[in-house]
Structure 1
Amino acid sequence: MKSKLLASATLLTTFSLANPAEAANPDHIRQLLSTKQCPRCDLSNAGLVMANLANANLSGADLTRANLSRANLIGADLSNANLTGVSLFGANLSGANLSGANLNAADMRDTFLAQANLVGASLTNANFLGAIGLPSYTGTAEDFYRWAMAEAERDNYARAMELFNQALNIKPDYAEVYMGRGMVRFQQGDKTGAMTDTQRAAQLYTAQGNQQGYQLAQDVIKGIETANKPRRSGGGSNFLNFLSGIASLGLQLFF
């Protein structure tokens, strides 16, 4: 999953002319930008890149496919808004009210969500890669595991660890999470933590009758044990490369 960089730009207030029936209402755009009060407005397909909409009232508004990349939406009221397919890439939604909002297929990459209210929001196929402050109630353990693995795939290990921990808070016996977290810890140089997590994964795989997972865990355990031993001339680096390969394989296997 590779993110495309969105270019920084000045505030865009132009609308699609190819299909004017689906364009935002120009009067509603002016109302929003001048007063920040636009509940139930038609803002579908609106270009609002980098707009300063802090504390704006957009409750019940139609923002379908709008571009709010890097917008300031701190404290904004977006409750029950239709945000299907919206781009909120890099937007600041700290303290925003998104309760009951439709965020299906929304681009939420690199958003700031500290203290945001997402209770009752629909998040099907929303992309939260790199999002900061995602509340634990917004997803299942499987969701947080999937997001953690995506962060690990792009070497964002600190964020991956946070998401793994959130997954375990929801589902403490999630073997794949221990396995993934152990691999990330190994990549970070924490061999002790990696061993502890991988051994726990092996125990859970045994209890679950998952022979494939158990065998992978055992391979990684043996690799960590060897990595902890003094290196012998000529062999150490090759084995560490092998272990890194196992870790990469594991990340792919359980993603």
Structure 2
Amino acid sequence: MKFNFSFAAIVFAVSSVALPVRADNIQHTSQLLATKQCPSCDLRNAGFVLSDLKGADLQGADLSYANLSRADLTGANLMGANLTGTSLNGANLMGAILVGANLTGTDLRGAYLVNANLAGTDLRMAYVEGTYGIPDYAGTPENFHAWGAIEAQNGNYRAAIDRYNTAITLNPQFAPAYLGRGLALFRLGNYGAAERDAKVASALFEVQKNPSGVEAAKNFAEVIEVARQPMNQGGGSNIGNVITGIGSLLLRFLF
């Protein structure tokens, strides 16, 4: 019993010492909401859901694990901010400055990034499903291809096509992006465009001496042909197997 009492006393003492840190956080939270000026502030775990933070100065602020879901951060200065684990789900970041910000584990799903400055940031560890307006320079062809695959796996085929289009813009010889885009087009019922992408992917894989890629692209072309068959010619009975095979083809070239 003496040990338990001593342990409880220690925990209480440590908690008491930590209270001023929390008070500073509250002070900075109030400062931001009142003035929109809070550079280098301690805003860890703070809540700003749906807040109007247009043009806010948050340069160098620590916003780790804060909740800014659906906040309006249009034109906000987040240069060098720590956004580790921060929720920016559905936030408006149009024109925001995110130069050098830490985006590790940042939830950017559904966020609006049109004209945002993401120079010096790394989106590879962020969640970008449904994120709108990711600039071309914010990732490699491999990154955009992987993001497209994630969108496709979640049934967001149009968003997947946008990601694959960016990968192809960055590297017109990136065969897996054509295959991924073709699969997304196929799921949207655009068999003609899907077939064209399958042929391009096959030709590129052949030039690049990638036999498994050539085989996958050719198998996909056959899948499209089967899907085009009228139901009374057996096409319908094979559609289930065809669609099942699409997922494995997509994962094959995820990286």
Shorter chain as normaliser: what TM range?
A: 0.7 to 0.9
Residues 136 and 166 in structure 2, CA contact (< 8 A), matched pair in contact too: yes
1:229 Cα offset (Å): 4.2
For residues 249 and 223 of structure 1, the distance between their equivalents in structure 2, rounded to whole angstroms, comes to 13
For residues 62 and 250 of structure 2, the distance between their equivalents in structure 1, rounded to whole angstroms, comes to 39
2:154 counterpart of 1:158:
no
For residues 55 and 212 of structure 2, the distance between their equivalents in structure 1, rounded to whole angstroms, comes to 51
Match of 2:27 in 1: 27
Q: Which structure 1 residue ranges, 5 or more long, are not aligned?
A: 1-15
More displaced stretch, 211-220 vs 151-160: 211-220
Match of 1:252 in 2: 251
Residues 122 and 138 in structure 2, CA contact (< 8 A), matched pair in contact too: no
Q: What is the RMSD computed on CA atoms of the aligned residues?
A: 2.1
Residues 230 and 236 in structure 2, CA contact (< 8 A), matched pair in contact too: no
The structure with the largest alpha-carbon Rg is: 2
Matched position secondary structure for 1:232? helix
Residues 56 and 75 in structure 1, CA contact (< 8 A), matched pair in contact too: yes
Matched position secondary structure for 1:104? coil
1:21 Cα offset (Å): 7.2
Match of 1:3 in 2: none
For residues 141 and 20 of structure 1, the distance between their equivalents in structure 2, rounded to whole angstroms, comes to 47
Match of 1:5 in 2: none
Residues 185 and 191 in structure 2, CA contact (< 8 A), matched pair in contact too: yes
Match of 1:236 in 2: 235
Residues 22 and 44 in structure 1, CA contact (< 8 A), matched pair in contact too: no
Deviant stretches of 4+, over 6 Å = none
Matched position secondary structure for 1:31? helix
2:103 counterpart of 1:97:
no
For residues 53 and 152 of structure 1, the distance between their equivalents in structure 2, rounded to whole angstroms, comes to 33
Give the TM-score normalised by structure 2: 0.87
More displaced stretch, 194-203 vs 239-248: 239-248
Residue type of the partner of 1:80? G
Matched position secondary structure for 1:25? helix
After superposition, where does 1:67-216 map in structure 2 within 5 Å? 67-216=67-216
Give the TM-score normalised by structure 1: 0.87
For residues 92 and 83 of structure 2, the distance between their equivalents in structure 1, rounded to whole angstroms, comes to 15
More helix per residue: 2
Residues 231, 201 of structure 1: alpha-carbon distance in 2 compared, 3 angstrom cutoff: same
Identity of aligned residues (%): 43
More displaced stretch, 106-115 vs 22-31: 22-31
For residues 44 and 197 of structure 1, the distance between their equivalents in structure 2, rounded to whole angstroms, comes to 46
Residue type of the partner of 1:239? N
For residues 155 and 89 of structure 1, the distance between their equivalents in structure 2, rounded to whole angstroms, comes to 19
Match of 2:48 in 1: 48
Residues 102 and 123 in structure 1, CA contact (< 8 A), matched pair in contact too: no
Match of 2:65 in 1: 65
Residues 180, 21 of structure 1: alpha-carbon distance in 2 compared, 3 angstrom cutoff: farther
Residues 42 and 62 in structure 2, CA contact (< 8 A), matched pair in contact too: yes
Residues 22 and 45 in structure 1, CA contact (< 8 A), matched pair in contact too: no
Matched position secondary structure for 1:114? coil
For residues 123 and 183 of structure 2, the distance between their equivalents in structure 1, rounded to whole angstroms, comes to 29
